[in-house]
Amino acid sequence: MSDPMDVLAPEHRRLRIGGDWRDAANGATFAVEDPATGRTIAEVADAEVADGLAALDAASGAMAQWAATPPRKRSELLTATYRALTARSEEIARLITLEMGKPLAEARAEVGYGAEFFRWFAEEAVRVEGRYSTAPTGGYRILTVPKPVGPCVFVTPWNFPLAMGARKIAPALAAGCTTITKPAGQTPLTMLLLARIMEEVGVPAGVVNVVTTRRSGDVVSALLADRRTRKLSFTGSTEVGRVLLRQAADNVLRTSMELGGNAALIVCADADLDVALDGAMVAKMRNIGESCIAANRIYVEEPVREEFTARFAERMGALSVGHGLDDGVDVGALIDDASVATIDGLVADAVDRGARVLVGGKRPDGPGHFYPPTVLVDVPDDARMLATEIFGPVAPVIAFTSDDEVLAKANDTEHGLAAYVFTRDLRRALRFAEGLDTGMLGVNRGLISDPSAPFGGVKQSGIGKEGSHEGILEYLDLTYAAVDLP
């Protein structure tokens, strides 16, 4: 089997600025590691502020021409990107697994998911519409003209290194905006490969720029302070999102924020338990649990608690753990040692407060950043894991006895990104849909992400929507013209 790094030549592990692949201004680099082994797999350019501003020069310089590019041409370039990603799915997936740790099957699914954003927004690019109407008082006409916001800065996370960038770049380009992406330091390689693919299909220089850096705060702050930047989109923690929102306020930037989650998954006594178990496994273990919409708290109604918990623990315990590139692996490595330590600490805290571990719960010895699938019961309300985004393969199961009780517990969080409900009673499902403080809800299914659906949260889980028709609106300003017509 070829080395996954073969798909990204050394000259393309540098900064993508304008039409060039260039070293950082000071020549600095940083190491990218395989989280399953801890070994260095590549060195990439470590940008400084001057490099970020050079990328903004390129994005600003390309803005007028890209905005004037016919929507059909922009659409065709996005479609070409979709086809290239689909054709090269296997090699891209192997690179994702190598730098991020997820099993290869999960990485393949991410490539398909990310590619779909390019296909979806290729279709949306030719459907951006204004309106023309007669003013109610007569005498003039109301004309609305949608226009691209301008150069956009994207800060993307490590857990979906292709899809999170695609979810931002595709609608921005469809709307006529140019972009600068700052990928996570742990997983910059996939975004660099995406930039290379978009270069190959003919996206013009300066439209897609990628700046890799370990000095994210300094570089991003400089970009947000520059008046040429007109849009910020960030996916990551609520804590960092608050900081970026404060910085974006100085220039009154348009912002899209997809922040932290603390999803409740509710299994009612009338649920089909086979469906609920399948859904819980997906909602909890997709992407090794390293997902903002992962089921963080599993509430099971008392009459089915014992059966559901036993079957769920059996399925969790049967999952195999290992290097994501190895055959038969269900659970790959977590992103870094700090993540493993955090999860281990949350489990220890819950146990200290009276929780019991049914399966897993012990950090393994040896190299790599691994943690076993873990199920806990008798988790008290004051356990830290119930108020913290676990971001790993750990599932606390909590009993409930009434809908009012579980709604109160599910909503008792600053977050409101996603939730899941399993019931065969339509009226009950609709009551949960109306009662849960969440931006997204899975009813009898554990997978809710879809490029054609609006992804986003409420409360402190974010601002704005990604995907769907609403997704392109985040990259459009609207000019209203009053046209005199006596």
| pLDDT category of residue 111 using cuts at 50, 70 and 90 | very high
Mean pLDDT for 161-175 is 98
- Cα Dmax for the chain: 81
236 pLDDT tier (thresholds 50, 70, 90): very high
- Number of C-beta neighbours around residue 303 at 10 A: 13
Decide if 223 contacts 253 (C-beta within 8 A).
no
Do 244 and 213 form a contact (C-beta atoms < 8 A)? no
Return the percentage of the chain with pLDDT > 70, whole number: 100
Q: Which of 217, 209, 156 is nearest to 184 (CA)?
A: 156
d(CA 183, CA 248): 18
| Domain extent listing, the chain | 10-259+461-482, 263-443
Tokens of 315: 């399925």
Strands 394-400 and 295-301: parallel
Mapped onto helix, strand or coil, the DSSP state of residue 457 is: coil
Supply the pLDDT for residue 485: 87
Helix axes 163-175, 189-201, angle to 10 degrees: 40
Question: Which tokens hold the place of 46?
Answer: 């470590």
Distances (CA, A) of 262 to 56, 118, 416: 35, 29, 7
Q: Does residue 206 carry a pLDDT above 80?
A: yes
Amino acid at 152: C
Contact 177, 9 (CB under 8 A): no
CATH number corresponding to 10-259+461-482:
3.40.605.10
C-alpha–C-alpha distance, residues 436 and 457, integer Å: 12
Q: DSSP per residue over 85-100, as a string? A: HHHTHHHHHHHHHHHH
- Alpha helices (runs of H) in 253-327, residue ranges in sequence order: 273-285, 302-317
Helix (H) or strand (E) holding 111: helix 104-124
- Residue found under tokens 């470590």: 46
Decide if 5 contacts 181 (C-beta within 8 A).
no
Whether the predicted pLDDT of 4 surpasses 90: no
Has residue 238 got a pLDDT over 80? yes
The closest of 16, 193, 175, 186 to 90, measured between CA atoms, is 193
Mean local confidence (pLDDT), 388-408: 98
Nearest to 207 by CA among 74, 86, 374, 76: 74
* pLDDT given for residue 221 in this prediction: 98
Structure tokens at 169: 């770049």
Mean pLDDT, rounded, for 80-88? 98
Q: Annotated active-site positions, please?
A: 258, 292
Q: How far lies 231's CA from each of 153, 275, 382, 445, 455, in Å? A: 6, 41, 39, 34, 18
Residue 169 has what pLDDT? Answer: 98
- CA distances 68 to 72, 173, 284, 471, Å, are 11, 12, 44, 20
Q: CA torsion angle for 130, 136, 137, 138 (degrees, to 10)?
A: 60
Residues near 227 by beta carbon (within 8 Å), at least 6 away in sequence: 251
Asked whether the predicted pLDDT for residue 214 surpasses 60, the reply is yes
Region 90-109: what's the mean pLDDT? Answer: 98
> pLDDT band at residue 416, thresholds of 50, 70 and 90?
very high
* CA-based nearest residue to 188, from 369, 331, 16: 16
Residue-wise pLDDT for 351-382, tens only, equals 999 999 999 999 999 999 999 999 999 999 99
Closest CA to 391 of 274, 261, 480, 299: 261
- Place 1 in a pLDDT band, splitting at 50, 70 and 90: low
CATH number of the domain at 263-443, please? 3.40.309.10
What six digits make up the tokens of 403? 């809908």
Q: Residue 139: left if φ>0, alpha if ψ -120 to 50, beta else—which one?
A: left
Helix H or strand E encompassing 295:
strand 295-301
Residue 94 to residue 325: CA distance in whole angstroms: 7
Report the predicted TM-score, pTM, of the whole model to 2 decimal places: 0.97
Q: What is the pLDDT of residue 2?
A: 72
Angle ∠(197,257,472) on CA atoms, nearest 5: 55
Q: CA nearest 397: which of 304, 292, 275?
A: 304
How many residues are present in the chain? 486
Q: Contact at 8 Å (CB) between 111 and 85?
A: yes
**Through-space distance between the first and last CA atoms of the chain, rounded to whole angstroms:** 74
Task: From 29, 35, 26, select the one nearest 10 (Cα to Cα).
Answer: 29
Q: Which DSSP category does 467 fall into?
A: S
| pLDDT > 80? residue 317 | yes
Q: What is the mean pLDDT of the chain?
A: 97
Q: For 398-424, what is the mean pLDDT?
A: 98
